[in-house]
Amino acid sequence: MADFKAEILQEEASPPHAAQCQRCELSKQRQRVIWGEGNPHAPVFILLDNPGLREDKEGNAFVCGTRETLQYGMREAGFDVNLVYVSYLLKCRPIRAYNKPLAREACFSHLQLQLEEKKPLLLFGLGNAVVQSLFPDQDADVKSFRGTWHTVQGISAAFSYHPLAVRRRPVLMKYFVADLKLVAGKINSLLSR
Ligand code: SF4
């Protein structure tokens, strides 16, 4: 992965109702609300927990380790990056400790609205925080959810490990790529009908 160069995906501007959101304490930590990035009309909606670092010290756009590992996995899986939009459970980047359950609850309606508006064909959720937020009444984790299809707001959804977990434990890369192939296969088949 050392020679892999990730693409800086175009960030989508936050809608006016969210740009000034003060619903949780992250409003005091953030630089801006990060609504999402990539193709805003993409058929696949990738959901992560929260935005990572977006700019380097000089303020230049920067691809954090999470998004770099995601794109690397996509390349390995033959998954076209133009088919995805990437967004987050939390639309503000935390920079210090915060109350996670309260923030996730506060931000959830932004995600619900976003999914209603975008109507993606597939959702691909990454990491336990995502699984547990979407299925709070189940004893859910990535290990038990990956490899099969689930439903979120009427959208077919698959799950995999968080890219940072994959980065820290390279042994997970083969599962991550297999999960990306599952999603790429399904979206290619849906789009070719
Ligand atoms: S994390 Fe979500 S709920 Fe909290 S301030 Fe940001 S946009 Fe609002």
pLDDT of residue 16: 94
Name the residue at shortest CA distance from atom 3 of ligand 1: 107
Give the sign of the dihedral formed by CA 67, CA 14, CA 105, CA 158. negative
Q: Could you state, in order of their start, the residue ranges of all structural domains in the chain? A: 11-191
Phi and psi based region of residue 121 (left: phi greater than 0; alpha: psi -120 to 50; beta: remaining): alpha
17-66 pLDDT, tens digit each: 999 999 999 999 999 999 999 999 999 999 999 999 999 889 999 899 99
What digits encode the pLDDT tens for the residues 74-83?
999 999 999 9
Supply the residue whose CA is at minimum distance from atom 6 of ligand 1: 92
- Residue 38 tokens, joined: 């990539």
Binding pocket residue ranges, ligand 1, CB within 6 Å: 18, 21, 23-24, 26-27, 33, 90-92, 103, 106-107, 110
Q: Which CATH superfamily is domain 11-191 in?
A: Uracil-DNA glycosylase-like domain (3.40.470.10)
pLDDT digits (tens, 9 = 90+) for 95-136: 999 999 999 999 999 999 999 999 999 999 999 999 999 998
Q: From the CA of 106, how far away is ligand 1's center (Å)?
A: 7
